[in-house]
Amino acid sequence: MSDAILQTRNLKKRFGALAATDDVSIDLRAGEIHAIIGPNGAGKSTLIAQICGGLAPDSGTVHLMGRDVTQDSTADRARAGLARTFQISALAMEDTVLENVVLGALGASGRPWQFWTRALSDRSLTAIAEAALERVGLIDQRHMRCAALSHGQRRQLEVAVALTLSPKAFVMDEPMAGLGAEGSHQMTALLDQLRAEAPILLVEHDMDAVFALADRISVLVYGKVIASGSVDEIRSSSTVRVAYLGEEA
């Protein structure tokens, strides 16, 4: 086997007549950011759902750290070291920002069966949670209700929750969406540091960020990987230009 942390082999998923994932084999190696780009509806989120659990592929496998996790539940994959951020925020809207990250720390601790101690007074949880908020720049908002956050702040919180898991690999679905120029900048800097801790499979529409960050890029169109390579290779590929980057070339 290769040294890939995360690996898909021949993943296939159909929704009726639509091939949403069409024989996708990609891998994520230690220390890298592997960007997945592609037009709307290309099947990027569908691919992520199969990698992280929640959507079962019709065929093909997902390996994490060399182990086949295709049949494992979402929670099992998370415990095995996979941290996912959602394109559409999946956060506890009625809870505070801090409570949302403490939930992550609690998941990582694997000890939710405590009925007596105060979660927010447990330093082993809040220390991890606050460190994560610090890194994404949300520490001042920690007592705000999640519902009161801006769209961009919710993206940051998604990333903060993933950080609390200290994962083996990150899988992020459009973390820059709605961040604005400055937010994007900060997020780019954060992801840049993060790759040393764990590699990132990054789905992103923001091409400046992708070209700045990615070690490798795979281009997904109609569920198929039509090209895969370094930033320069993808930039200069005529297939990619025609299929996707047309307006940017």
Partner 1 sequence: MIPERLVNWVALLGLLAVPLWAVVVDEPFTITLVTRAVILAIAAVGLNIALGIGGLVSLGHAVFFGIGGYAMGILAYHAQTFTSLNLIGLVIPGTKSMPVIWLVAIVISALAAWIIGLLSLRTSGVYFIMITLAFGQMFFYFAISWSAYGGEDGLSIYVRNGFPGLNTLVPIQFFGLCLVLLCVVLFLNARLQNAPFGLALNAARQVPTRVETVGLNPVRLKLVAFVISGAITGLAGALFADLNRFVSPTMFSWQLSGELIVLIIIGGVGRLYGPVIGACLFVALEHWLGGLTEFWHVYLGLILLAIVLFARGGIIGLLTGKEGAHV
Residues lying near ligand ATP in the complex (CB under 6 A) are found at 15, 18, 20, 38, 40-46, 87
Binding mask 50-89 for Mg ion (x = CB under 5 A): -------------------------------------x--
Pick what 41 binds: partner 1, ligand ATP, Mg ion, none; C-beta below 5 to 8 Å, kind-dependent.
Answer: ligand ATP
Pick the closer one to ligand ATP by CB: 40 or 117.
40
Residues 152-211 that bind partner 1 (CB under 8 A): 161, 164-165
Exactly one of 92, 148, 207, 249 binds partner 1 (CB under 8 A); that residue is 92
The type of residue at 150 is S
Site size toward partner 1, by CB under 8 A: 42
Residue 71 within binding range of partner 1, rule CB under 8 A: no
Pick the closer one to ligand ATP by CB: 47 or 101.
47
For the CB of residue 94, give the shortest distance to ligand ATP in the complex, in Å: 26
Pick the closer one to Mg ion by CB: 44 or 195.
44
For the CB of residue 82, give the shortest distance to ligand ATP in the complex, in Å: 18
Nearby residues of 90 by Cβ (< 8 Å), 6 or more positions away? 158
Residues 29-58 that bind partner 1 (CB under 8 A): 52-54
Classify residue 143 as exposed, middle or buried by CB count within 10 Å of its CB (0-12, 13-18, 19+): exposed
Residue ranges in contact with Mg ion by CB under 5 A: 44-45, 87
Residue ranges in contact with partner 1 by CB under 8 A: 52-54, 73-76, 78-79, 83-84, 86, 90-95, 99-100, 102-104, 106-108, 110-120, 122, 125, 161, 164-165
